[in-house]
Structure 1
Amino acid sequence: MTPYVGLRPYRPTEHEVFHGRSRESREVATLWQATGLTVLYGASGVGKTSLLHAGVVPRLDDSRVDRLPIARIAPRDHGPGNPYVMALLSCWAPDTEPARLAELTVSQFLREIRPTRLDEYGDPMPVLAAIDQAEELFHGRSSLGPQQRELLGQLAEALAQHDRLHLLLSLREEFLYMVIPYERAFGRGSRTRFHLLPFTPEAALEAVTGPVADTGRHYAPGAAELLIDGVREAGLQDDHGLHSQLHFGLVDPFELQINCAALWESLPDTVTEIQPEHTRIYGNVDRFLTGYCNRALSTVAREHGVGESDIRMWLRRTFITEHTTRNTVYEGIDQTQGMPNEVAHALVEQNILRTELRLNLRWYELRHDRLIETIARLETPDIYLRRARRALEHADWDNARRYAREAVRASAVGDPWVRGDAAEIFGLIAMANADPDEANRYFDEAAASYATEQRFDGVSRVLTAQGKLALAEGDRTVALERINAALSYAPADPAAQLALAQTLMQSGVRAASAVLRSIITKLPPHLIPQAEELLSDSA
């Protein structure tokens, strides 16, 4: 079971694996209990919901405070009563009949459904209420404007009438200005704001290493730091081939969570100590963002009846400039640069786009610079793998390595077929560069991946390569063992047959030449020169 929750927010029951936010959790819990209004704000994906559920709530003492369930305003147009008020009260009292809630204002609810509770000394407890994603209170379809204003008025009335009520609003920072007109009424003279920022590098290290403490795995020195550096850095290339490197001082929790969860799921089961090499192979954030974007775009396309390729082209054309920087565009009445506004809204919810309100217009841009390369990437993993193998044929080791890494980055999370091909390519590069230990390590990984996928031709290729590697090292016994194993997976594999003949010839077996002559006519063209050279040498 993974100790990282992936893309969903943390739950209150996951407090033990929620790390890196101790200070923020403690401060928000204190502010919430001490002030009439606390506004928690931050960028989309910075972890506000997780902080509330797994950081703040577990720090509250239920014997001293009366905490209402954390609410999210998700109004529905049908049913009795004001849909915004109903959405709030339904979160606070999910077991109460809707018809009963429809009769109540917020103040009436607190008097009749949620009466004052007393602590052990007989004193009234403070009542803590939180609304997550509270931006939904302040924007939406214009037809619901009066109903939104009614709920905001009811909240102000309730806070005025119930002096022990403490309200926390959590929302995206671009909507903060919309709360300002209500702060005085909501806070009753006691109000504060808390800006939730991305992780510092130190907090990020705690967020990476803390959750694995009881899993039987641990990070070797430098491995977690390398994982974090991968999130803090991004390389860009513009249309003219110019490269630039971006370095971020803080660490995006959204990207770090993607990276950690996907790394964990991608690691072989036998790994107990996560080495820096594991983070290099499996922990590249670009690869995981690609997999995430693929799934997010597929979901949005399916839910809104728009072609996935159309969304991809729209994102590239609209939000990436010719200099490979983020572009901003404003929302039209029904469409944004030719795409229905509903699709843009959905991409905000999927953390692909972010919004900012300026001069009463909503502007969109890619959520993070890191997404520029991800969105701009057109090729699929198999295209990169073909390029890598072509580079191998020309002994272009650097490009072979680069394309194999790009294939891994472009793959969806946990694609074993890509991992197998890439590992085989890395092994062939190491073999060509006289590093047998590294070559065999990659070959073992590739063989395991191929076997899982039942790609026995791949298993045969890797075992043949290991046999040739052993032969080059002078170990004919291991060479014969590996090549015979390769032929057991693919008896007609010409490369394995040729390697067997070569091994037999070097072992002094007289029948080796006859074996070679019997298969030479069946060999593919690129192997015939090697076979003829072997026959010539044996003459």
Structure 2
Amino acid sequence: MGLRAFRRQDSGKFFGREREAYEVCDLWRSNQLTVLYGPSGAGKTSLLNAGILPLLDPSQNDVLPLGRLSYSSVFPSAALPEHNPHVFALLSSWSPEDSPTRLAGLTLSQFFRNRPSRQDPYGDPVLRLAAIDQAEDLFLGSGRHAPYREWFIDQLVEVLRRDLDLRVLISIRDDQVNMILRNERLNDMSKGRFALGPLESAAAHRAIVGPLTGTGYSYADEAAQRLLQDLSGVRDDAPESKVIEPVQLQVVCARLWYSLPPDVTHITVEHIIEYANVRRSLESFVDGMIAEAARDHLDGDAVGLRAWLRSNFVADSTRTSVQRGDTHTAGMPNEVIAALIDRHILTPREGLAEGAVPQYELSQESLIHLIREDDGAPGVTLSERTPEEHLHSAQHALREGGFARARREGEKALALSVSSRLRAEIESFLGNVAFADARYDAAIDHYRRASALFELDGQTEAVGRLLAAVGRSHRARGESRLAIPELASAVQRAPDDAGIRTELAWALWYCGHSQAALDVLNNVLHHDGNSLPALRARAEILLDLGRPEEALSDFGRLQPIREPWVRAAYAHALALVGEPGKARREIAALDAATDGHGPALLHTALVEEQASNLHVAAELARRALGAQAPPLPPHLARTAERIIRGSSGS
């Protein structure tokens, strides 16, 4: 497979992890929560796909597709209601055929409540088995996602407590595993844990020779043994228990396979020496990975990157570690560190005390000798990347909050693309980048160009979602009047999309058409009474119309409320019905996430006004008027101005 993870359909070629697959499978079925952990490159994803999932009898288990907590899609994200990105990404991977706008409005508990229960042939309920791969994404994202991480864990705890037939397996890098194992909210659940390490010699031998079974190819016994010895760096007289790193085994075996002459079917020691020379193979691999990272992040300066690695991570011919900085590590941007971890050159250091600043080191001791001096490393010729590869790189950058790199890679993909469908998808993605970076004019331009391309292709619903994204971008700029016709047109093209109709209601309310907005939301909730985005919007509009008791009824259906901006509105409703103590507890729980949120700041100001704290209320109202994420709609801006005037006259 090389560096690509094994997929489910590759299970017939997956050897060497049989014991681990059975043990993890048993743990998963026996515990509410199972944690599979190991270093990057240990093969956790391959074990899940090709080792564990094939063992599960579908008649005895309800097995969901492998889940992820980060989302790579060209779907116009501005067309989605406000949502938890981790929950949305997970549900999108667990239910890939479902509508994104529907999934964005669900909690984990709602998702499982809506999933039909299954029974075995005897009528007994079967276990629901759900896996989350690469869960370190939950903890390694940008700071702006930190609140969503906590709300995600709250939802996970809630669904595990409610659904006793649900079993969740979390696969995570070992430097982040304590974020799960030591999380207090998960303490009272039955937990299984499994550490995935390197391959023992016998397992590595099966991984080398097993995939050739039934192919007409074979290894001479001494050839497979020579490859094992070279990989472990030992000879016949060394201990048999010497372990082998899966990444290095895959690199060397892939090089052998693709270099072997077409007429060779029986692989001998001579072939191993000629075509799978371990030292040359691994040097070539390391050179290529460093060159790729340099191309993507450092304008191709592989020489400088190799020199930086040697000077910072090697001391007296041994590995040394470097402490992570906020934005740079040892003078290198942290996005380069992430790229080197992805390419198995660096790894987070293990064994640090809890709460210690992360440190990085070379992923293997052997890299000390494989990262060659400048004059010893030949120039690496990297193949030209396809538009799809540039787009993939851009999506990776966006997940990490690297807007500038995401834009650059997306523009490269666009320049190389000749397919109108792919150009439309790239334009939609570039709109997502601009929207996330608060460049709303650029977002509107990209979404419009994508819409025009999809229109030519006859993709009516896709056009509708892109028009909704244009409308949302206008509303984010404080131009709700421009948003309404875009959203009305979007509803015509995608009439069954409740998310678009909910966004139309927001735009109508922001323009002061409260009753029209309420009518739209009542219609949405008539068809889906549990739509959280619609309930949240209706609660705020009812509150604005002076109907706090009705608003509290909708807020009650949203419980537990996690988002600070919704809690601020809920606190205002409590204050209006004579619950000042509860209201103050709610606003005391708000955090920095409300700082730029105009309506949230205004609701907090109104709570303070109810409590006669007029000067505090006025200061909050001034901040609300200056907020841009999102700004206050005009009719609420007038309320903020009234609060400020009232303070000056007191």
Output the amino acid matched with 2:136.
E
Q: Deviations over 1:27-70 (max 9, x none)?
A: 11111111111111112111111000000000000011001111
Which region of structure 1 is more displaced relative to structure 2, 216-225 or 157-166? 216-225
1:32-181 matched pairs, under 5 angstroms: 32-75=28-71, 79-80=80-81, 81-112=83-114, 114-181=115-182
SS of 2:369 mapped into structure 1: helix
**What is the aligned partner in structure 1 of residue 194 from structure 2?**
194
Output the amino acid matched with 1:99.
T
**What is the aligned partner in structure 1 of residue 631 from structure 2?**
none
**What is the aligned partner in structure 2 of residue 530 from structure 1?**
none
Q: Deviations over 1:423-456 (max 9, x none)?
A: xxxxxxxxxxxxxxxxxxxxxxxxxxxxxxxxxx
8 A contact 2:287–2:371 mirrored in 1:
no
- Measure, in 2, the Cα distance between the counterparts of 1:135 and 1:305: 25
1:352-391 matched pairs, under 5 angstroms: 352-356=345-349, 358=353, 359-379=355-375
Give the gaps of 5 or more residues in structure 2: 383-650
Matching residue within 10, 16, 27 for 1:20: 16
Which region of structure 1 is more displaced relative to structure 2, 172-181 or 285-294? 285-294
Instruction: Select the structure of larger CA radius of gyration.
Output: 1
SS of 1:376 mapped into structure 2: coil
Q: Deviations over 1:74-129 (max 9, x none)?
A: 157864311111111111111211211121110001111x2211222222111001
8 A contact 1:107–1:157 mirrored in 2:
yes
**What is the aligned partner in structure 2 of residue 351 from structure 1?**
344
- Measure, in 1, the Cα distance between the counterparts of 2:234 and 2:359: 24
Q: Deviations over 1:168-203 (max 9, x none)?
A: 011111112111233x75475421111112111111
Which region of structure 1 is more displaced relative to structure 2, 336-345 or 355-364? 355-364
Q: CA deviation at 1:269?
A: 1.6
**What is the aligned partner in structure 1 of residue 205 from structure 2?**
205
Matching residue within 287, 306, 311 for 1:317: 311
8 A contact 1:86–1:101 mirrored in 2:
yes
- Measure, in 2, the Cα distance between the counterparts of 1:73 and 1:131: 7
Q: Deviations over 1:125-164 (max 9, x none)?
A: 1100111111112332222111011011100000001000
**What is the aligned partner in structure 1 of residue 525 from structure 2?**
none
1:428-507 matched pairs, under 5 angstroms: none
SS of 2:361 mapped into structure 1: strand
- Measure, in 2, the Cα distance between the counterparts of 1:329 and 1:247: 33
**What is the aligned partner in structure 2 of residue 250 from structure 1?**
243
SS of 1:154 mapped into structure 2: helix
Which region of structure 1 is more displaced relative to structure 2, 99-108 or 186-195? 186-195
Q: CA deviation at 1:278?
A: 1.5
Please provide the CA RMSD for this pair. 2.5
TM-score (ref. length: structure 1): 0.65
Q: Deviations over 1:194-246 (max 9, x none)?
A: 111211111111111111122222111211111011111189xxxxxxxxx99
- Measure, in 1, the Cα distance between the counterparts of 2:303 and 2:36: 37
SS of 2:123 mapped into structure 1: coil
Output the amino acid matched with 1:149.
E
8 A contact 1:258–1:285 mirrored in 2:
no
Matching residue within 328, 333, 346 for 2:326: 333
Output the amino acid matched with 1:262.
R
**What is the aligned partner in structure 1 of residue 230 from structure 2?**
230
1:396-435 matched pairs, under 5 angstroms: none
**What is the aligned partner in structure 2 of residue 401 from structure 1?**
none
- Measure, in 1, the Cα distance between the counterparts of 2:57 and 2:187: 22
Output the amino acid matched with 1:152.
I
8 A contact 1:291–1:412 mirrored in 2:
no
Matching residue within 269, 274, 280 for 2:273: 280
Which region of structure 1 is more displaced relative to structure 2, 211-220 or 343-352? 211-220
Judged with a 3 Å threshold, the aligned counterparts in structure 2 of structure 1 residues 354 and 246 are, in CA distance, closer, same or farther, namely farther
- Measure, in 1, the Cα distance between the counterparts of 2:187 and 2:4: 31
8 A contact 2:21–2:52 mirrored in 1:
yes
Give the gaps of 5 or more residues in structure 1: 236-244, 383-409, 414-539
Output the amino acid matched with 2:94.
W
Q: CA deviation at 1:247?
A: 10
8 A contact 1:297–1:311 mirrored in 2:
yes
Q: Deviations over 1:480-533 (max 9, x none)?
A: xxxxxxxxxxxxxxxxxxxxxxxxxxxxxxxxxxxxxxxxxxxxxxxxxxxxxx
- Measure, in 2, the Cα distance between the counterparts of 1:72 and 1:294: 30
Judged with a 3 Å threshold, the aligned counterparts in structure 2 of structure 1 residues 151 and 411 are, in CA distance, closer, same or farther, namely closer
TM-score (ref. length: structure 2): 0.54
8 A contact 1:159–1:188 mirrored in 2:
no
8 A contact 1:35–1:187 mirrored in 2:
no
8 A contact 1:208–1:260 mirrored in 2:
yes
- Measure, in 1, the Cα distance between the counterparts of 2:282 and 2:56: 35
- Measure, in 2, the Cα distance between the counterparts of 1:347 and 1:279: 29
8 A contact 1:287–1:412 mirrored in 2:
no
8 A contact 2:204–2:244 mirrored in 1:
yes
Q: CA deviation at 1:256?
A: 0.7
- Measure, in 1, the Cα distance between the counterparts of 2:375 and 2:228: 26
**What is the aligned partner in structure 2 of residue 520 from structure 1?**
none
Q: CA deviation at 1:23?
A: 0.9
Output the amino acid matched with 2:88.
M
- Measure, in 1, the Cα distance between the counterparts of 2:307 and 2:283: 15
Output the amino acid matched with 1:375.
I
SS of 2:193 mapped into structure 1: strand
Output the amino acid matched with 1:231.
L
- Measure, in 1, the Cα distance between the counterparts of 2:200 and 2:373: 29
Aligned-pair identity (%): 41
8 A contact 1:40–1:171 mirrored in 2:
yes
- Measure, in 1, the Cα distance between the counterparts of 2:217 and 2:339: 37
